[in-house]
Amino acid sequence: MGAAYYRAESESGHHVEDPSEDALFTLIDDLNGSDNTFVVVQPDEDDPVWFTSVAVLDEGGYEVVRRDTIRREHDVVTETNIDRIARDLTIWMAARDFPGRPTQHASNF
């Protein structure tokens, strides 16, 4: 098994290495308003250059934060659909740079 590129960890201490879209869905679905209010996903390295977090809002729904210092991205949105959150985060994380991961090249052929 290869090295973990990123890690998801909830406030309750539950963590998943390189979480799939389904694993993100489960982590978010397990959030509550008392003792497990957020989950953070970031590279498994010291001083990560990007992160994303999902937090339960008091009024319902979730606050989703995506931050990438290299690309100068910082987005904060609210969302109620866990499927959409998990899918969007999976796509966003797939576009991040990971040390040691083969570079993705686009082809014009």
- Domains of the chain by residue range: 6-94
> What's the pLDDT tens digit per position in 57-107?
999 999 999 999 999 999 999 999 999 999 999 999 998 866 555 555 444
H or E segment and range at residue 83: helix 82-94
Q: What is the pTM of this model?
A: 0.85
Q: Extract the tokens encoding 11.
A: 């406030």
Cα separation, 68 vs 43, whole angstroms: 11
Distance of CA 106 to the CA centre of its chain: 24
C-alpha closest to that of 100 among 34, 29, 18:
18
> What's the pLDDT tens digit per position in 34-56?
999 999 999 988 889 999 999 99
Cα separation, 93 vs 43, whole angstroms: 10
Q: What is the mean pLDDT of residues 16-42?
A: 96
